[in-house]
Amino acid sequence: VCVAGYGQSGGNEILQLLPPPTLQAKETQGLCPERDFKVECGGFSNRPVYSLKYVPDTSLLVTTGPPDSSLQVWQVSAEDSDVIKPVSAIPTESVPGQPWARIATISARAPWVLHGSRLNSVQITEVESRKNVYMAGIQTKSNDGFLESWELVLCCAKGQLCLADVRQPQSPLEAVSVPSAPCGERWCMGVGRGPQGSDSSSQPIACLSSGGHLTLTDVRKTSESLASAKCRVPSPSSAAEFLCVSWAPALESCLAVSGFDGTVHVYDVQSWDSSGREAEPIFVHKGHAFGGSDSSGGPPFVTVHAWHPQKPRTLLSAASDGSLHIWDWVQACG
Amino acid sequence: MPEIKVTPLGAGQDVGRSCILVSIAGKNVMLDCGMHMGYNDDRRFPDFSYITQNGRLTDFLDCVIISHFHLDHCGALPYFSEMVGYDGPIYMTHPTKAICPILLEDYRKITVDKKGETNFFTSQMIKDCMKKVVAVHLHQTVQVDEELEIKAYYAGHVLGAAMFQIKVGCESVVYTGDYNMTPDRHLGAAWIDKCRPDLLISESTYATTIRDSKRCRERDFLKKVHETVERGGKVLIPVFALGRAQELCILLETFWERMNLKAPIYFSTGLTEKANHYYKLFITWTNQKIRKTFVQRNMFEFKHIKAFDRAFADNPGPMVVFATPGMLHAGQSLQIFRKWAGNEKNMVIMPGYCVQGTVGHKILSGQRKLEMEGRQILEVKMQVEYMSFSAHADAKGIMQLIRQAEPRNVLLVHGEAKKMEFLKQKIEQEFHVNCYMPANGETTTIFTNPSIPVDISLGLLKRETAMGLLPDVKKPKLMHGTLIMKDNSFRLVSPEQALKELGLAEHQLRFTCRVHIQDPRKEHETVLRVYNHLKGVLKDYSVQHLPDGSITVESILIQATAHSEDQGTKVLLVSWTYQDEELGSYLTSLLKKGLPQSTT
């Protein structure tokens, strides 16, 4: 598990933590002695870290954050030291006022990172050589994801989804769907894995708006949504920075939503239709709300969440008061 | 440069054998003298031969300080003082002095009587060793000798644990021993004032851990105990008599009270009564809450916890038993374990670290078939759980302590160097101090910058203030004087007084320089020209034209004479004393540049 701070005043830490052995996927022999996290390695970042991703199959990390949209590349876990060292920075053309970049990583032919803060500045860069592999064209802010090796999908803040093919660099991105929800809301998305055994092109995409609207789309037919619902949010959140929606890797049709307040909601989408009515979460994690106040004095809100890759109902969530929770829920029987 | 030298003598990264040698301003102090519980041979004691090869330890060491009664900090003390040989003072807090001999004797009994070891200290040695102990109070400054003083601070962790400040003149070292920065149910948190030592030596065994919240840990423990008891099983908790056991007792007692549970809880006798006796005796060492409620109700007099009798182990029905010793290596806890191991409804919860070779360690590693004495195989069907309740500081705690004490340097012991690089950087970045991590046997030298107080004579002080410009209080002021070092005192006096005291005559050093100037006029006209020129240039200085034809600039004398061979050249004699060297050189170079063509 890798965590990083996003304080404005510099001196933010990036820590790679080893969760207690009870939470690791493999079957443990003997006993798991501790409930403690071990700090495997750590590093320091001058800028606040707003987004952090591992580059698969390498020991590299990529982070982004204000003040500009460049990326920092870090080397984790060298043999002889436990320091996360900065390796290089991938610069981008910085236009003043351009917000920080969103990133996604993949190791296809080589470790790549997809990044950009606006649609017109979306690029794929090879992490190690910092060579640009792909560039694209249009406007507005984005939130990206790799679908599989060649295609990428972007979700813009206004809610449009754009698809592109990496093999055709330089082609303009076309918006393939527009959400049917009130404007003024900001959107983010999560890409799920297709059902086991089927071909990988039927991946569902979930889009979440700051007003609590959730739209599910199939990547092959992006013009119409598969289903939509509304989740119960306390009040439409204006701080859409921390909106996060993600699919469970080990469960069918489950997704988690966070970023509105100090809770994480888990939904089962099998029963959803296109009516857009309010959906009941199958579980709400409220732990962070009891944590006391964060640095700005208000109640803590969840900044990000992630699913455990192997354990079925286990999630990790972090909040603005610096807490990290690993939790699961029990299905009520009967 | 004056330096402080630190050499850890303890064993690797294992918990055990804490022993650190510190050399400060000519004094040598040994911090802790622990034993490693995992070894049965000489490796269990620190290597004392490192200290001095042939000299007597008593002559070399000024004192020995023990931080707390855990055997990995005091276990080697009788061996050290009686078998290797040391007769100097040994300092520890009162609770430590009271409890140490009990634990040492207990351990001796097991090692010698049960295991049959021969090269071990005897009961008499323990007694003789304790006679050399001087007990100290918290925050009491103890003068070890004229120059060396020590002071103990509260460390939490266990009853009587202390952090020690060692001070010689203005150099000081703080040794933390084991400490805990978060208070628990029966002990407070460690505390130290802003003593700004030159060096802070801290244990770092748990420095790369971020601890789970204590509430979750406790809740987990209580859940397991409750579940076992609910289904009729028995829970065995092997503990050392003093230490975490009291913490867990208070936890269970509170839980039983709240949940109105009826199953009996037992605490095995032997060390129990003595333990509770000491907690009551040293009540001031416990935390605020316990002290406050002590008058109405003694926290260590439990309503639900009773004394154990060996026969109870065979009673049917659920129960919870705290039994010693803690690693299931011998004694009562092992006996009970053997009785209960075959039933899967039962549970054993190990609340702490187990040394390799003990039954505790074996079952924690997953062994389910154990070979007992007489080749008997014991099948372990009972549930085995491990909950670590030890109270140590983690990385956050270390940072907190450094923030409190504000040391100039930090030294971490008992951590693996490779895994500590990040913490080292964190400390260096946040506090701008050096952080060292010596391996065992490796000496680290820390350079200090002590200030030396010097007496200044009144005459010199008056002279300096009379010299003019009021000193800016923030800026250092340069003054000239003579430093007299006699016996152990330093005095700063004026040079004249120094000479007088030494009976020496004062010598004056005078420089003279000849400057040639082309000037065909008469001497006194040249002098006038020089005078006007100097007066114009040296506006801040007193330039005077004396009746005898010479010019003075401050105390520098300038005279003009005609050159013996060449009437057109005048020779200016510039003469100054050693003290006016700077001005003299400046004047000379000024005059060498020649006189301006003036219209005098």
Q: What is the mean pLDDT of each run of 10 residues along chain A (334 residues)?
A: 71 72 54 66 80 78 76 75 76 60 64 64 63 47 51 64 64 58 64 55 71 74 70 62 79 82 83 75 81 66 82 84 82 62
Q: Is B388 on the interface with A (CB under 8 A)?
A: yes
Smallest Cβ–Cβ distance between A33 and the set B208, B212, B386 belongs to B386
Tokens found for residue A242: 């921390």
Q: Do A37 and B386 touch (CB under 8 A)?
A: no
Cβ-Cβ contacts under 8 Å, A30 against chain B: 364-367
- Judge: B384–A80 Cβ closer than 8 Å, yes or no: no
Q: Which of residues 337-376 of B touch A (CB under 8 A)?
A: 364-367
**CB contact (8 A) between residue A35 and residue B426:** no
Domain B510-593 fold? TATA-Binding Protein (3.30.310)
The yes-or-no verdict on residue B533 having pLDDT over 60 is yes
Residue A202 domain-assigned (yes or no): yes
In the prediction, which pLDDT does A140 show? Answer: 37
Query: To the nearest whole percent, how much of chain B has pLDDT over 70?
Result: 91
List residues in chain A touching B: CB distance below 8 A: 11, 13, 17, 20, 29-44, 80-84
pLDDT category of residue B136 using cuts at 50, 70 and 90: very high
Neighbours of B113 (CB within 10 A): 10
Closest Cα of chain A to B354: distance in Å?
11
Tokens of A328: 């699961």
Measured between beta carbons, the chain B residues lying within 8 angstroms of A80 are 418
Please give the Cα distance from A39 to A20 (Å, whole number).
Answer: 11
Q: Name, in order, each residue with C-beta under 8 angstroms of B476's C-beta and a sequence gap of 6 or more.
A: none
Q: Do A39 and B422 touch (CB under 8 A)?
A: yes
Q: Which residues of B touch A39 (CB under 8 A)?
A: 208-210, 395, 422
Q: Is the CB of residue B220 less than 8 Å away from at least one CB of chain A?
A: yes
> Does B224 contact chain A (CB < 8 Å)?
no
- Which residues of chain B form CATH 3.30.310? 510-593
Mapping DSSP to helix (H, G, I), strand (E, B) and coil, where does residue B289 land?
helix
pLDDT grade for B213, boundaries at 50, 70 and 90: confident
pLDDT at B301: 72
What is the rounded CA–CA span in Å between residue B389 and residue B379? 27
The angle at the Cα of B281, spanning B277 to B287, to the nearest 5 degrees, equals 105
Rounded to 5 degrees, what are φ and ψ at B576? -145, 160
Are the C-beta atoms of A126 and A111 separated by less than 8 Å?
yes
Size of the A and B interface in Cβ pairs below 8 Å: 68
| 3 state DSSP class of A265 | strand
Strand B265-267 versus strand B234-238 pairing type = unpaired
Q: Does domain B3-210+391-447 have CATH number 3.60.15.10?
A: yes
Q: For chain B, count helices (H), then strands (E).
A: 17, 31
**B430 neighbors B466 (Cβ within 8 angstroms):** no
CA distance A35 to chain B (A): 6
Q: Residue A181: what pLDDT?
A: 55
- Dihedral pair phi/psi, residue A123, rounded to 5°: -140, 160
Residue B370 has pLDDT above 70, yes or no: yes
Closest-CA residue of chain A to B383: A31
Look at residue B572 and tell me whether its pLDDT is greater than 80.
yes
Taking an 8 Å cut-off on Cβ atoms, the answer to whether B209 and A42 are in contact is no
Q: Say if the Cβ atoms of A36 and B211 lie within 8 Å.
A: yes
Mark yes or no for CB contact A38/B385 under 8 Å: no
Read off the pLDDT of each residue in B387-391 and give the average, rounded to a whole number. 75
| DSSP summary character for residue B40 | S
Set of chain A residues whose Cβ sits within 8 Å of the Cβ of B420: 82
**Topology (CATH) of B214-386:** Rossmann fold (3.40.50)
- Is the residue at A321 inside a domain? yes
In chain B, ranges of CATH 3.40.50.10890 domains: 214-386
Contact between chains at A42 and B384 (C-beta distance less than 8 A): no
Band the pLDDT of B129: cuts 50, 70, 90: very high
Across the interface, whether the CB atoms of A33 and B388 are under 8 A apart is answered yes
Q: Which residues in chain B touch residue A14, judged by CB atoms under 8 angstroms apart?
A: none
Inspect the interface and report whether the beta carbons of A36 and B425 lie closer than 8 Å: no
Maximum CA extent, chain B = 131
Distance from CA of B420 to the nearest CA of A (A): 7
For the stretch B468-523, pLDDT in tens is: 656 666 777 777 788 888 887 888 888 888 888 888 887 888 888 888 888 777 77
Best to test chain A binding among B210, B353, B390 (most A CBs inside 10 Å):
B210
Give residue A290's domain range: 180-333
Q: What is the domain-level CATH number for residue A310? A: 2.130.10.10
Q: What is the pTM of this model?
A: 0.76
**Nearest residue in chain B measured CA to CA from A19:** B210
> Residue B310's pLDDT is what?
82
- Between chains, do A36 and B386 touch, taking CB under 8 Å as contact? no
pLDDT bucket at B13, cuts 50 / 70 / 90? very low
Please tell me which residue of chain B has the smallest CA distance to A287.
B216
Q: Tell me whether strands A204-209 and A12-18 are parallel, antiparallel or unpaired.
A: unpaired
- Among B215, B419, B422, B424, most A C-beta atoms within 10 A, so best to mutate, is B422
Residue A92 lies in a domain: no
**pLDDT tens track for B259-318:** 998 899 988 766 566 777 888 788 888 877 777 766 666 666 778 888 888 888 888 889
Q: Which of A30, A34, A36 sits opposite B366 (nearest CB)?
A: A30
CA distance A76 to chain B (A): 12
Which of B217, B364, B395 lies closest to A39 in CB terms? B395
Task: Answer yes or no: is A3 within a domain.
Answer: no
Nearest to residue A152, comparing CAs of A164, A141, A160, A143? A164
CB-CB under 8 Å, A35 with B216: yes
To the nearest 10 degrees (0 to 180), the angle between helices B523-537 and B581-592 is: 120
Instruction: State which residue of chain B sits closest to A85, comparing Cα positions.
Output: B422
B422 shares contact with chain A (CB less than 8 Å): yes
Asked if B114 reaches chain A (Cβ–Cβ under 8 Å), the answer is no
Q: Where is pLDDT greater, at B127 or A148?
A: B127
Catalytic residues of B: 203
What pLDDT does residue B205 have? Answer: 78
Nearest CA in chain A to B217: A35
B395 CB neighbours in chain A (<8 A) are: 39
Distance (Å) from the C-alpha of residue A289 to the closest C-alpha of chain B?
15
The DSSP element (H or E) to which B292 belongs, if any, is helix B288-294
User: For position A169, what pLDDT does the model report?
Assistant: 57
The domain total for chain A is 1
Q: Which residue among B364, B420, B426 sits closest to A33, beta carbon to beta carbon?
A: B364
Distance from the Cα of A51 to chain B's closest Cα (Å) equals 22
Report how far residue B390's alpha carbon sits from residue B70's, in angstroms, rounded to the nearest whole number: 12
Tokens 């890797």 -> residue: A249
Taking an 8 Å cut-off on Cβ atoms, the answer to whether A34 and B208 are in contact is no
Q: Residue A188's Cα: distance from chain center in Å?
A: 9
**Closest in A17, A44, A82 to B210, CB measured:** A17
Closest approach of B431 to chain A, Cα-based (Å)? 12
pLDDT of residue B210: 76
pLDDT of res. A178: 59
* Mean pLDDT for chain B overall: 83
Whether residue A34 and residue B209 make contact (CB cut-off 8 A), yes or no, is yes
pLDDT of residue B535: 83
Q: What is the Cα–Cα distance from B373 to B183, expressed in whole angstroms?
A: 42
Report d(CA A248, CA A204) in Å as an integer: 12
CA closest to B430 among chain A residues = A11
Q: How far apart are CA B277 and CA A34, in angstroms?
A: 32
The first and second tokens of residue B8, run together, are 């850890």
Q: Looking at residue A35, what is its pLDDT?
A: 66
Coil vs helix vs strand at B180 = coil
Close Cβ partners of B175 (under 8 Å, ≥ 6 residues apart): B20, B22, B31, B32, B65, B67, B163, B164, B166, B201
Nearest CA in chain B to A43: B422
Q: From chain B, pick out residues whose CB is under 8 angstroms from the CB of A83.
A: 421-422, 425
Maximum separation of any 2 CA atoms in chain A, in Å: 58
Instruction: Centre a 10 Å sphere on the Cβ of residue A270 and count the other Cβ atoms it contains.
Output: 9
Q: Closest to A35 (Cβ–Cβ): which among B220, B384, B419?
A: B220
